[in-house]
Structure 1
Amino acid sequence: MNLIVKIVEPLKAFLLEVGELSYFTGNFFKEVFKPPYEFKEFLRQCYYIGNRSLVLVGVTGFIIGLVFTLQSRPTLEEFGAASWIPSMVSVSIIREIGPIITALICAGRIGSGIGAELGSMRVTEQIDAMEVSGTNPFKYLVVTRILATTFMLPILIFFGDAIAIYGSYLVESMKGDVSFVLYSNQVINILEFSDVLPATFKSFFFGFAIGLVGCFKGYNCKKGTVGVGQAANAAVVYTSMLLFIIDFVAVFVTNIFYDL
């Protein structure tokens, strides 16, 4: 009997969480098309999310490019395929490594920040005060943040990919004496729309997931200061899991189209 309870209770809690998140998502799509539109707050969140994450994404992308090239070069040199490094690195970063690593970095940086910010507002009853004053806190706080993460993450991923490829070029220029023009030509020649479009398309879903889970956890934060920490932590954990699921589905669907 105790074993059944131990299995049923977590399953019940999980299903309740999924149901609440689905209802929260439905409210977002209902409110996003209804006026008034909080355009100034949306722009402020875009600046906060994009500009303040730019350095972290850039440094991460630069290190990815350096490490990936340094690790790959010795193996490729053994097979006499060192000339394929620009093509291999660019395709790997654009298709998979760049989007998922940048999204995970942003999940920790942006998702936890949104969860803690909205959670503290819920604990200090600022959201309740907005409801009493006649303001729609869901549209002002939630819709703007989800839209900002959805539109800014693809830009951050593009920036991180470019920095990662440049970091790869620096390694090649030191190890293989490759010019920037030659390296750039190899990168451009190997990339196709079938590489760039799926990665760009799924990056919008990555951004939506980061904003949605962060807002959901923060907006429904439990009372007390402990709840703020739990909301921030849960936002990062849940978002990371959701990102891997979205990435798997995106790669699976893309491969189906490749096989057609």
Structure 2
Amino acid sequence: MLKIIRERWRQGYRTGKFPKIEPVLAERFRGLPQLPTSACPENCRACQDVCPTDAITFEEGRPVIDLGRCLFCDDCARACPEKTLSLTGNYHLAASSRENLLQKTNEAPKIAALNAHMRSLFGRSLKLRQVSTGGCNACEADLNVLATLVFDLGRFGIQFVASPRHADGLLVTGPVTENMKGALLDTYAALAEPKLVIAAGACAINGGPFIGSPEIHQGIGDLIPVDLYIPGCPPHPYTSLDGMLRLLGRLK
């Protein structure tokens, strides 16, 4: 026992101070894209040509990035001949509507907090059932990290539970394969009303790298209503945590 106490004293307090203090992410973290502030050279579509998920379109000569499709692979930034497109360290990527994931400016997506009634129900205690619908397990791994002492999701009253009967909401990862479609819909139906749905990762939002495959449903948006979209491949734990807290009205 004395050895355990001594070791605990040696390690100190390991839980991050987010949200009181902004987290320091690794230098190689790829977050919110920085778009050109003026029109690109005529006929230059280098970033669009290399995007593996067709996440980039053009309006008035400037790129528009669909963060729901984006894998944050950095191919677009490396291909830009003017070097006016880059990926920043901004982890504020989540949005409460699919349309808000279409990045046309250099502002982070917006999240509309739940209404007062929903916040009174879930603002201090939110139980989530996580369903993997055919993903690669990267999103699942980074969500599991939220339960560790570094992030300590439970201090905000948010927990993952084993049964939809015990859950207030559904957190979905993966592109929804044909084999998992029925399981997803059954799990959603088992949740009591009112309920929340969170789509985490590019696959759950729009199919990710599997987009266009006839074996998937291009994400969950056309199957069940979604309250929060968390982009990334996979989303950083702080991106997920920030999005959930903003949805619950715990952050402004």
Same fold (TM over 0.5): no
User: Which structure would you say has the larger Rg?
Assistant: 1
Higher helix share: 1
What TM-score comes out, normalization by structure 1 length?
A: 0.24
